[in-house]
Structure 1
Amino acid sequence: MGTGEGCADPRGLERRRAGAGDADVPVAQRAPLTTWYVLFAMTYLATSTIVVFDSETPVAGRMTATGFLALNAVWFLVYGRRLVERHPDDWRGFIYAAGSLATFASAVWFSGSATFALFGLVPQLYMVLPLSWAFWPMALFVLTPSILTLISGQSPALQLALAVLIIVFSHAFGWAITRIAEQNEQRGALLDQIESLTLEAERARMSAEIHDTLAQGFTSIITLLQAQQPNVELALRTARENLREARALVAATAPSPLDGSSLEDAVRRLVSASEVESSFRVIGDPAALPTSVEVVLLRTAQEALHNVRKHSGAKTVAVVLRFDPAGVSLEVRDDGRGFGDAPEGFGLRGMRARLEQVGGRLTLGGAPGASVLVEVPL
């Protein structure tokens, strides 16, 4: 039988939080997937070519092994690719690994040269499973050629020490790539946050300038013209029309996430779009809030719901927006795995930074599940 070795994990290079339904993942974040798909295609093609021209294997064995490699490729296209692009990080990754192992092992049984498919299969495991879960399936894939060789009564071509070295290298490489990908994700989130804050600041500046110049100017014109009502009806009507246009322009430049609606309506839309079973309620009488406070609360709700979908493994999430005389609070609670002892990530640090700008505070809780509570005094 042939020897084999694998290389691992590009998973984070493809991933970002893609956010709700992955539709918000930037093209620059999704683009590396194409590179990996090309690598997988080249691996399948090269391995099949090696198998077909393996003169030491009977023709029937070569054709059968090539057929199983083709089945393995189809299994990835039909099922594995969907997991790579949606990255659910759950038990479905093991289903893909089991099907891939079955076709791979069958191909290796008929031709040891099929072992070279590991160059594409091992990275796939790290793309459909979390890093800590992928180790054992990866080790089994690497050891499969040696196991089958022993079953067939031959001496293993891949010695145990070399197999262990390959396993350790593959997982270490997977860990390193994952760390790099996480840092890239954090940088991307930071750039998004900077862009968002810059846009909101520009909107606020434009609104203030329009209010302080055009709107107030037209109001002054109307006041003056009302004092000289005769023969100025046309000028008065024109000024009023321009005032309406100015006010409409001010409204149009309000912060985009709120989209001209109330904070509670904007949060309700976020909750209803969540991929996790969600509920939302408002406690107290909704009060008018400064735009800066509304934006911070809405951004916090977006980040918390994103973390629930991506990290918690929760089945349900409840969001409560509370108004009282002292201030306003927003709580996002889920039934997932909780925060544990893991250090705060970039998203939570970003929440704290935004809340500090409006004098608010962030409290994390859980057991069971996880709770994110933000409070802003008024």
Structure 2
Amino acid sequence: MEQHQSLITWYVLFAITQATALVLILIDNNTLADRLTAAGLLCLNGVWFLLYGKKLVSRGDDDWHGLIYAAGSLATFAPAVWFSGNATFALFGLVPQIYMVLPVAWAFWPMALFVFTPQILTWAAGAVPALPWPAALLIIAFSQAFGWAISRMSEQSRQRAELLNRIEALTIEAERARWAGEIHDTLAQGFTSIITLLQGAQPNVELALRTARENLREARALVASNSPSPLDGSSLEDALRRLVNGVELESSFRVIGDPVGLQTSAEVVLLRTVQEALTNVARHSGASRVDVVMRFDEDGVSLEVRDDGRGFGDAPEGFGLRGMRARLEQVGGTLSLSSDDGASVLVEVPL
């Protein structure tokens, strides 16, 4: 957007210089034929820019195509100056174009040729140049400095555009990772529980139906960007107690200390972490019992999920544990794992 606005500004400048040069040509003291010829040639110069030069400027090309454009522009500008010296005013728009379609090192010589064209043609006609040669040299020096500034601004604009594109790509990637984590923590875990329950005896059907309904509410909450459905209308302690009571193992849930209010983001992280830990216990640990302890103290809140299964062993951390750590880092929390007499997942979040 910023680059587009900058180009619009340059296009307006080019149009103003061309229009001013045309007015100066038409009020010149030359014959009507000379004035109309010069004006026509300058109009052709503008058409050449619209058909070819504008494409190079908008794309930011700095290669040999710029030399083709410079040659075509000079082919219409030079004879226009021959028929009317007032066409020289068009240089204020033509010189910047040269630097916008060519590298700075390449643009110097075409620019110098453009600036010297009125001098050379006036001298060839046997007249005294209206612009002294020292003044022409000064214009060339100024044009080179101006062209360098244009090149720097163009490069900075390109770098800003690349940075914005990179930020946008990272934002999209982070959002995809967030959704992947949410789906893994909610729908995937819930449906895994349904499959496990349905593989069991008939009494588990009711629990499977209840789990399916909870996951349906969870899906709707995700789409609506609401808070996790287990927290809707209840405290974190109640939501955790429901999660623990819903596992197909002997389980217990205890709260130690005086509960305090937590930020919603911290409550979501704690809930998701316990949900992930319980799913891992049911799927991988081979445990017969799981206990969850929530502790409040002056520094923060901690949650420990302990089972009597086979422990973590030397298995690498999977997506679930990596997702736990990533979410906890967002709220300044930590995750600790141990495998003494089973497996223990300890989560600590500061107040």
TM-score range, shorter chain: 0.5 to 0.7
| Mapping of residues 210-249 of structure 1, within 5 Å | 210-229=183-202, 232=205, 239=212
How far is 1:42 from its partner?
A: 1.6
Partner of 1:204: 177
Moved more, 185-194 or 135-144: 185-194
Match of 2:99 in 1: 126
Aligned partner of 2:67 among 94, 112, 132:
94
What secondary structure is seen at the aligned counterpart in 1 of 2:126? coil
Q: Is residue 6 of structure 2 the alignment partner of residue 68 of structure 1?
A: no
Residue aligning to 1:105 = 78
Shift, 1:166, TM fit: 0.6
Q: Report what 1:38 is aligned to.
A: 12
Write out aligned runs for 1:98-177 (5 A). 98-177=71-150
TM-score by length of 2: 0.56
1:134 CA displacement = 0.8
CA offset at residue 235 of structure 1? 5.3
CA deviation profile, 1:48-91 (whole Å, cap 9, x unmatched)? 11111113x22221111111111111111222222222343222
Specify the alignment match of 2:160 in structure 1.
187
Unpaired runs of 5+ residues, structure 1, are 1-26, 250-378
Q: Which amino acid in 1 is paired with 2:49?
A: F
SS in 1 for 2:199: helix
Find the counterpart in structure 2 of residue 276 from structure 1: none
CA offsets 1:277-303 (integer angstroms, 9 cap, x no match): xxxxxxxxxxxxxxxxxxxxxxxxxxx
Q: Which amino acid aligns with 2:109?
A: W
- One-letter amino acid of the structure 2 residue matched with residue 36 of structure 1: W
**Aligned-partner residue type, residue 148 of structure 1:** L
RMSD over aligned CA atoms reads 2.9
Q: CA deviation at 1:144?
A: 0.5
Preserved contact between residue 25 and residue 39 of structure 2 (Cα < 8 Å):
yes
Give the aligned partner of residue 368 of structure 1.
none
Residue pair 1:222, 1:239 contacting (<8 A) in 2 also = no
Q: Structure 1: which amino acid aligns with 2:161?
A: G
Structure 1 contact 222–236 (Cα < 8 Å) conserved: no
CA contact (8 A) 1:65 1:114 kept: yes
Residue by residue over 1:107-145, the C-alpha shift from the partner in whole angstroms, topping out at 9 and shown as x without a partner, is 111111110010111111112212211110000000100
Cα distance in 1 between the residues matched to 2:160 and 2:55: 26
Q: Secondary structure at the match of 1:191?
A: helix
The structural deviation recorded for 1:234 is: 11
Separation in 1 of the partners of 2:153 and 2:139?
21
Which letter does structure 1 place at the counterpart of 2:2?
A
What residue in structure 1 maps to residue 284 of structure 2? Answer: none
Residue equivalent to 1:320: none
How far does residue 35 in structure 1 lie from its aligned partner after superposition?
2.0
State whether residues 225 and 236 of structure 1, in contact with CA within 8 Å, keep that contact through their aligned partners in structure 2: no
Q: Is contact 1:105–1:145 with CA below 8 Å preserved after alignment?
A: yes
Aligned 8 A contact 1:48 1:66 in 2: yes
Q: Give, in whole Å, the separation in 2 of the partners of 1:176 and 1:86.
A: 18
How far apart are the structure 1 equivalents of 2:4 and 2:194?
54
| Cα 1:198/1:75, change in 2 over 3 Å | closer
Residue 216 of structure 1: CA displacement? 1.2
1:233: Cα distance to partner? 9.0
Is the 8 Å Cα contact of residues 131 and 174 (structure 1) preserved in structure 2? yes
| Structure with larger Rg | 2
Change (3 A) 1:115 1:134: same
Greater CA drift, 191-200 or 140-149: 191-200
SS state at 1:45 partner: helix
CA distance in 2, matches of 1:177, 1:199: 33
Distance (whole Å) between structure 2 residues aligned to residue 163 and residue 209 of structure 1: 68
